[in-house]
Amino acid sequence: MFQKLKQPLIFAVCVWALLAFTAAQSSSTCGAFFTGDCLRLGWQRLSHVVLLGWVEEFQTLIAGIAALGAGAFVIVSGREQIQHLRESKQREKIDDALDSVYTVGADVGEYYRKIRFATKIPASIPLPPADLMKDIAYISPQLSQFIIRFHFLTSDTYDDCQINKHHFPLNKKYLIGSSLAMFQIFKQVTEHVRETPDFKPRATLTKMTFDSDPIIYGAEEDNLEQKHLGAFQDFFSVTSE
Mean pLDDT for all residues in the chain: 82
Cα distances (Å, whole numbers) of residue 101 to 56, 89, 98, 139: 66, 19, 5, 8
Global pTM? 0.67
pLDDT-based confidence at residue 45 (cuts at 50, 70, 90): low
45 and 164 fall within a common domain: no
The pLDDT tens digits for 112-153 are 999 999 999 999 999 999 999 999 999 999 999 999 999 999
Alpha-carbon torsion (182, 183, 188, 190), positive or negative = positive
Angle between helices 59-116 and 130-139 (to 10 degrees): 120
- The verdict on residue 65 lying in a domain is no
- The verdict on residue 63 lying in a domain is no
50 and 124 fall within a common domain: no
223 and 130 fall within a common domain: yes
The pLDDT tens digits for 176-234 are 999 999 999 999 999 999 999 888 899 888 877 899 999 999 999 999 999 999 888 88
218 and 105 fall within a common domain: yes
- The verdict on residue 80 lying in a domain is no
- The verdict on residue 74 lying in a domain is no
53 and 169 fall within a common domain: no
Amino acid at 57: E
- Say if residue 172's pLDDT is above 80: yes
The pLDDT tens digits for 199-210 are 889 988 887 789
Number of domains in the chain: 2
122 and 30 fall within a common domain: no
pLDDT-based confidence at residue 20 (cuts at 50, 70, 90): low
53 and 107 fall within a common domain: no
167 and 114 fall within a common domain: yes
The last residue of a domain, from among 37, 57, 77: 57
The pLDDT tens digits for 78-105 are 677 767 667 778 889 999 999 999 999 9
- The verdict on residue 137 lying in a domain is yes
- The verdict on residue 83 lying in a domain is no
Domain residue limits at 8: 2-57
Cα distances (Å, whole numbers) of residue 172 to 61, 122, 154, 224: 83, 11, 11, 10
